[in-house]
Amino acid sequence: MPLSSMDRVRLEKAAVDEGFGLRRPDDGEWMAFDGLDMPTSLRLFHRDGVYYVAVNHPAVAAELTRRWQGLPARTEPIPPADFHHFAVPDTAPLQELIRHAYQLARALPPEPLRAFALRTAGMPRSTEAERWVVQRVGQDVFREALDIYWEGRCAVTGVSDRRLLRASHMKPWARCETDAERLDPYNGLLLTAHLDAAFDAGLISFADGGEILLADTFAGRDREAVGIGAGMRVGRLAAGHLGYLGWHRENVFPGGR
């Protein structure tokens, strides 16, 4: 059954309101949209009271699958090739899901690297001062991606005051081999300043399951004074974090620095 005029109005409004404002010709039964400022596409459909959202960004789809509690996606309608689809029961969760997809598309690779290339195009890099300015731009891009990915909250404590948060690399900027590594949001955690300092110094790290690891050199009285202790954990680690986190445990955590 083709989409009704009212369905089309509702679906287009949801897409445009949440950042997917480039309308494309229909893709079979699905209404098609592209992002205004990033190369991610959206497909939308409605049938029997269920709204379907399909995205073509595998990492975004994986994150939505881990985070989003919607209806089980039915086998019908079949999404276009290379799209992953989700189902929700009403227009409010429809908009929320599309908004979340848009935010993740801005934060996940390759978007930070693309944003960095655009912002630094034509910037000189011949002197140390010029290279520092370029690095500063990259660090800003990295922080923006972590803000989005962690939804503006510390990955461990949930603190949301931006003034108290730091973008913490697992594999430090200077040790990365490529800009893709430096800007990869999976190479970072958004942490409160005291956790960032301890993480950077190798006094703490995290297991693949998210549990905090405490260095033997991190004195108990100091841990108590700053409120860092066993039982703390990162609430949401993805597969993309694990390689970088393993690097941190092997190269930064033992003995600190």
Give how many domains the chain has, as a whole number: 2
Q: Tell whether 102 and 10 lie within a shared domain.
A: yes
The predicted structure's pLDDT at residue 254: 80
Residue 125 within any structural domain of the chain = no
Tens digits of per-residue pLDDT, 139-179? 999 999 999 999 999 999 999 999 999 999 999 999 999 99
Tens digits of per-residue pLDDT, 55-99? 999 999 999 998 887 777 666 788 999 999 999 999 999 999 999
Q: Tell whether 151 and 231 lie within a shared domain.
A: yes
Q: Are 214 and 223 within 8 A, CB to CB?
A: yes
Residue 83 within any structural domain of the chain = yes
Residue span of the structural domain in which 152 resides: 146-251
What is the pTM assigned to this prediction?
A: 0.89
Residue 183 within any structural domain of the chain = yes
Q: Tell whether 171 and 224 lie within a shared domain.
A: yes
Q: Tell whether 181 and 84 lie within a shared domain.
A: no
Side chain identity at 119, as an amino acid letter?
Answer: R
Q: How far apart are the first and last CA of the chain?
A: 65
CA dihedral sign of residues 150, 42, 29, 5:
positive
Q: Tell whether 159 and 218 lie within a shared domain.
A: yes
Q: Tell whether 102 and 164 lie within a shared domain.
A: no
Percent of the chain's residues with pLDDT above 90:
89
Tens digits of per-residue pLDDT, 116-141? 999 999 999 999 999 999 999 999 99
Residue 117 within any structural domain of the chain = no
Q: Tell whether 62 and 154 lie within a shared domain.
A: no
Note the residue count of the chain: 257
Q: Tell whether 154 and 244 lie within a shared domain.
A: yes
The predicted structure's pLDDT at residue 255: 55
Q: Tell whether 246 and 163 lie within a shared domain.
A: yes
Q: Tell whether 99 and 176 lie within a shared domain.
A: no
Domain boundary among 81, 107, 133: 107
- Whether the predicted pLDDT of 256 surpasses 70: no
Tens digits of per-residue pLDDT, 177-207? 999 999 999 999 999 999 999 999 999 999 9
